[in-house]
Amino acid sequence: MDGEIRFVRDERDRRIGRLTLSHPGKLNAISVSMWGALRTLAEGFDAVGAPPLAAIVIAGEGDNFAAGADIEEFPAFRFDERTLRAYHEGVIAPALQALLATEVPLVAQIDGACVGGGLEIACCCDIRIAARTARFGAPIAKLGFPMAPDELAVVLAAAGRDSAAELLLEAGLIDAATALQRGLVHRLADDPAAEAWASAQRIAALPLEVARANKRTLRQLRPSPSTANARRGHFDYADAEFHREGIRAFLERRAPRFDDTDA
């Protein structure tokens, strides 16, 4: 099963939507088809009417938000620079951009693992509410590759340079209390679903036009993304042995042996 993205209006208040990341058995890891569905849905949020959407809660199914991308798909495209670039810049980046571009306020309800691509999605949300047991990170260096520029820009804006550097360079995870202390999440909750719903209700009680105007202004004031020239060469690592070893080791459920690969 490739997983799915589900979107419904909340029957308690149809001005509030709920988007669910669902990939049973894979901690809601995000497949290529899920990235595509996420983009399509997000691109249509602003146009939803009768009534228009006042807020959307984004959550993972079950006990986790999302544990990154679906690594089992990686061997099909990661080791060629052209297909690797197409994956990051033609699949993931447009989905994240669609989330950033919507004028509908987004509230992340974060349980369990919020890692890699899951972290990137959460960082696109305007308000992030986490369970006290949630954990955050981007340990992709253990897979033998760096974070793509468009994706790092999203994490950088939410986490700040110092926290983003630690997460990427040490490839570790931080707990919810640390994430709160650093501003990566806005608040912790014993019941994140209830708190996310309450947040969405508070937003919906205010003028929709004001919320959307605030989102437009916030977007206009975001730092500019890196240029195409600055990104040139980023995906040169596609066929490197350390990249192959990182993915291979994960799929074989063993520790990677980077000392035996080329630098």
**Residue 134 CB-density burial (10 A; 0-12 exposed, 13-18 middle, 19+ buried):** buried
DSSP β-ladder status, 55-60 and 113-115: unpaired
| Residue 186: predicted pLDDT | 97
Q: Is the pLDDT of residue 263 over 50?
A: no
Q: Which residues make Cβ contacts (< 8 Å) with residue 12, sequence separation at least 6?
A: 197
From the centroid of its chain, how far is CA 255? 25
pLDDT digits (tens, 9 = 90+) for 108-156: 999 999 999 999 999 999 999 999 999 999 999 999 999 999 999 999 9
Cβ–Cβ under 8 Å, residues 47 and 235: no
SS3 99: helix
Q: Is the pLDDT of residue 207 over 50?
A: yes
Tokens of 109: 């309800």
SS3 29: coil
pLDDT band (50, 70, 90) for residue 50: confident
pLDDT digits (tens, 9 = 90+) for 56-93: 999 999 999 999 999 999 999 999 999 999 999 999 99
Q: Is the pLDDT of residue 262 over 60?
A: no
SS3 154: helix
Q: Is the pLDDT of residue 46 over 70?
A: yes
| Residue 261: predicted pLDDT | 54
**What is the mean pLDDT of the segment spanning 15-31?**
97
SS3 201: helix
DSSP β-ladder status, 127-131 and 173-175: unpaired
E runs forming strands in 23-86: 55-60, 66-67
SS3 188: strand
Cβ–Cβ under 8 Å, residues 142 and 242: no
- What domain range includes position 42? 4-191
Q: Is the pLDDT of residue 24 over 90?
A: yes
Kindly report the length of the chain. Answer: 263
pLDDT band (50, 70, 90) for residue 233: confident
SS3 84: helix
pLDDT digits (tens, 9 = 90+) for 235-254: 888 899 999 999 999 899 99
91 lies in some domain = yes
H helices of 145-240, in order, are: 149-159, 161-170, 176-181, 192-204, 208-220, 228-231
pLDDT digits (tens, 9 = 90+) for 96-112: 999 999 999 999 999 99
Domain tally, the chain: 1
77 lies in some domain = yes
pLDDT digits (tens, 9 = 90+) for 173-202: 999 999 999 999 999 999 999 999 999 999
Q: Cα separation of 16 and 9, whole Å?
A: 6
**What is the mean pLDDT of the segment spanning 221-225?**
75
57 lies in some domain = yes
182 lies in some domain = yes
The amino acid occupying position 39 is: R
pLDDT band (50, 70, 90) for residue 222: confident
260 lies in some domain = no
Q: Cα separation of 30 and 69, whole Å?
A: 4
SS3 243: helix
Please report, for the domain that includes residue 109, its CATH number: 3.90.226.10
149 lies in some domain = yes
**Terminal-residue alpha carbon distance, the chain:** 36
Q: Tokens 């033609």, residue?
A: 90
pLDDT band (50, 70, 90) for residue 1: low
250 lies in some domain = no
Please say whether the dihedral angle defined by the alpha carbons of residues 141, 35, 58 and 158, taken in this order, is positive or negative: positive
pTM, 2 dp? 0.93
